[in-house]
Structure 1
């Protein structure tokens, strides 16, 4: 009787994941018409499209991971000041949709771009170069956060022994640092490649004649309503993501936690610090340029004809429904974050604090499966499975698809936190007659307040910026603010589009600030 609530919640979570993850993917497979497969493969643009996607993803991944590793090293292995500020600024690109990065580059380096007109710079922006630059801006913060976290757990005694043995700094970096970063490096490569390979926001704006798989799928389904071809392309998008997911999962399973005997000591080095400052400042400037451009264009009358200060475009954006769509986005993001925290937290508790059975292992696998499902594939599978249902065409289905799309990361965050508690706590609680729900509310939750804040922040921010998963499911009344960006861009309303990007960024920055103060308050009263 004491654990009836626990078992009811367990059943509800399992049913939710089966309906929200497994069933839509099976429906996607069932909607493939076998006769369409040779039509797609034999199409003249198919193999060039595959090559374009792989080439752009490989180049962007190589640059993003290298840049992120260098920046993480500068922040954690130099004596530069304002490390916290640099770390925050490096993550700003995560707070706006990927399509905004493409638009920002157009506004800077396009035919009538600000820098094009100012300096006469004429970059071949539309095509491979533009896509790679846009994807690097969009994806490198993910790898940076992973590397920064890893650097904090390095033991200095190994480096001290290397000093005694006479190893140079370069050899220490090669033999110790890179060896320690092997698993995180592989994880970052898989994560960034999957993110870039499945993104259609940047290629949609900057691709030009270079077609990629996600853009082709977007046009086939949205433009032509060809769900069978969309499902086939969706499976193609899923294959590399699943391969990366399985490899990354095996990589994590093999990882062992290290014990820090002595924290890393940073010795004075003016050359190292000077180069670190240079790289960090240049990166911050490059990141900030598109955002500053959005702010500037939001308050000019008509670019590039009339650059006088005016709020006419702000008023135009509100006249075109910005207020209603902002409310939609806030509603979707808040409900996604609130419900998502509850679902991921309880799911992690069930899998991390229960005996390993077939049910708990299956639940764990389904919970992390969303890491391997591109948003555009998930959105299409929801169209096919939920079309005609009560929730189809409502805000509820947009909340549901966001819950699934962003389920895995907060789940793993909670799962890892639960795993740090003593494994015998449940046995002790059963002996004392304490229910699982009481343990959860009185023992685990008070100790995991900061983790819960991070989980809420992650889901909220991503729900505000996503365009892939919701693009197939939103209609005129339920459309989130992020989907206005491609819509306004297609109508050449660049000033209003820039203002929307600024609004999304402002909302997410305010959320990050609020979470920071809540976590600071929690620490103060502990």
Structure 2
């Protein structure tokens, strides 16, 4: 009992110093006079309106499109379903700011598609932010909704087929109610992502400013921490509401009993149309990445489009290898430490009696879902600026662990909760310690979940710019932060090359993890 209590106490202290105190300290920097000057002005109302209007529209389009694509993929018999699943999530492997740059390359005043089709429209501002936000958030909505559709029971649909009820009514009366809570959770997740992201509006917003981009400029450009803290608190409000609603949804969600897996009947015309739709949407979402590849190997866009490797040589002179090493060091360290801490936390909360301490620890573990990265980064600047870890690579690792903690924690928590209480009873009867159960039983049987946790921490640490942008310096700066710096110098080919390099690193890592998991699965099947 003493060891268990000690472990819980250590984790609570960790969350206290890594989450609670930095956020509480952020509130102390908010000055009452600055609130009156900033909040009660027409400028702030405009910022809020801009943020809400772009976020609401982008969320609606992103979630609706994800629902449509998930339905097309799940309700057809097309070949290469796994390939489409992978392709549609590739945009998750690059920073949000890269999507905005890709749109500029394609649809800017001298963009590839703009010139080719002789288009005349202003990308910068409202339209560009909405487009970039959709590219950035769609994969998350797609994964959540597609997963929900995979657990639908076919029994109700079979009855509707017999009764001759039209497909539209089946969708409205069965599908939507069945996936209502996951769909709502996807809406809140996407809304929070877009509302708090500053990468897209910073790069493509022009004079159309949002709250998150304004906060970035106030802190990085003007070092105005008071205004930054006020905006940070404002950004916390919708994220915290989303967090509370998501907790309520999770609490009310009941495990569905899958009586019969969904049966998709043969229909060649439907499958042909599904293939066309999925190929078209996949191409649209991969276009910014194609643009990165093209821009990386041409002499000078758009004046001289002849093939050249000059940018790769220039990148070496920019010490890009050093930044890449920083990113890989931060990502691997975050993945290793984050996986260990989140798994151990999940083990305690999932395999222990639901005491007030355990429930409090579970709530703390979920809380990072409600903290935008840009707010977390600012709170770390204000809280840790006089400590020994400030200006070191360790603070970047810590902020990434906290920023991405909740999702891997939930992966482990759900996996470990799946084992009945009989395991605990058997361990007590035979005098087996909790530690031995962890090492000999649970870790071997949840290896695939651990791999997914490690992968989540790594890929997100490679692409993030929000939490680390206020904390890095020349010596420890990750590669992703080069993108806004190079773009500010109008080195668009270099920004494309950096985005491409991050994508390649994440694809190599994800491919390695995939083959490693396949090897493990084959080994288990042979046994």
In structure 2, the residue corresponding to 1:35 is in which secondary structure?
Answer: helix
Q: 2:284 aligns with which of 268, 283, 286?
A: 286
3-state SS, counterpart of residue 431 of structure 2? coil
Counterparts of 2:119 and 2:268 in 1: how far apart (Å)? 34
CA distance in 2, matches of 1:521, 1:13: 34
Find the counterpart in structure 1 of residue 310 from structure 2.
Answer: 312
1:409: which partner in 2? 407
Question: Following TM superposition, by how much is the alpha carbon of 1:205 offset from its aligned partner in structure 2, in angstroms?
Answer: 1.0
Q: How big is each residue's C-alpha offset from its partner over 1:230-255, in whole Å with a ceiling of 9 and x where there is no partner?
A: 11100000000111111111011100
The alpha-carbon deviation at position 301 of structure 1 amounts to 1.4
Deviation at 1:43, TM superposition (A): 3.3
Q: Distance in 2 between matches of 1:357 and 1:300?
A: 62
Q: State how far apart, in whole Å, the 2-side matches of 1:433 and 1:153 are.
A: 39
- TM-score normalised over the length of structure 2: 0.98
Aligned-pair distance for 1:426? 1.5
**Residue 81 of structure 1: CA displacement?**
1.3
Structure 1 residue 145, shift from structure 2 partner: 0.4
Choose the corresponding residue for 1:487, options 481, 485, 488: 485
Separation in 1, partners of 2:179, 2:453: 25
The answer to whether the 8 A contact 2:8-2:361 is kept is: no
CA positional deviation for 1:9: 3.5
Q: Whole-Å Cα distance in 2 between the matches of residues 169 and 179 of structure 1?
A: 15
> Deviation digits for residues 33-78 of structure 1, max 9, x if unmatched?
1111001023331101100000000000000001101111111111
Aligned to 1:258: 256
Unmatched tracts of structure 1, length 5 or more? none
Q: Provide the rounded CA distance (Å) in 2 between the counterparts of 1:160 and 1:516.
A: 36
Q: CA RMSD in A?
A: 1.1
Decide whether the 8 Å contact of 1:6 with 1:437 is kept in 2. no
Shift of 1:124: 1.7
What are the Cα deviations for residues 279-321 of structure 1, in whole angstroms up to 9, with x where unaligned?
Answer: 2111111111110110111111111122121111111112112
Q: Deviations over 1:69-111 (max 9, x none)?
A: 1111111111111111011000011000000000000001111
**Structure-2 residue corresponding to 1:90:** 88
C-alpha separation between the residues in 1 aligned to 2:507 and 2:5? 38
Task: From 71, 74, 87, give the equivalent of 1:73.
Answer: 71
Post-superposition Cα deviations, 1:301-352, rounded to whole Å, max 9, x if no partner, equal: 1111221211111111121121000000000000000000000000001111
Q: Report deviation, 1:270.
A: 3.2
CA deviation string 1:389-426 (max 9, x = no partner): 10000000000000000000000010011110012321
1:156 to 2:143 alignment: no
Match of 1:249 in 2: 247
Paired residues of 1:379 and 1:468 also in contact (CA < 8 A): yes
Equivalent-residue separation in structure 2 for 1:114 and 1:40 (angstroms): 40
Secondary structure at the aligned position of 2:289 is classed as helix
- 2:114 alignment partner in structure 1: 116
- What secondary structure, in the 3-state scheme, does the structure 1 residue paired with 2:299 have? strand
Question: Bigger shift: 387-396 or 41-50?
Answer: 41-50
Report the count of equivalent residues: 524
State how far apart, in whole Å, the 2-side matches of 1:158 and 1:493 are: 57
For 1:246 and 1:11, the matched residues in 2 are separated by 25
Whole-angstrom distance in 2 between the partners of 1:90 and 1:284: 6
Task: State the partner residue of 1:510.
Answer: 508
Question: How many angstroms apart in 1 are the aligned matches of 2:268 and 2:61?
Answer: 26
Partner residue of 2:202 out of 200, 204, 218: 204
**Which 10-residue stretch deviates more, 71-80 or 3-12?**
3-12
Specify every segment of 5 or more residues in structure 2 that has no aligned partner in the other structure, as ranges: none
Q: Which moves more between the two structures, 101-110 or 7-16?
A: 7-16
Deviation at 1:7, TM superposition (A): 4.5
Offset at residue 150 of structure 1 (A): 1.1
CA deviation after TM superposition for structure 1 residue 115, in Å: 1.1
> 1:49 is matched with which residue?
47
How do 1:171-190 and structure 2 match up within 5 A?
Answer: 171-190=169-188
TM-superposed CA distance for 1:25, in Å, is: 0.4
In the other structure, the counterpart of 1:20 is: 18
Partner of 1:215: 213
- Does 1:193 pair with 2:191? yes
Indicate the residue corresponding to 1:145 in structure 2. 143
Offset at residue 486 of structure 1 (A):
0.2
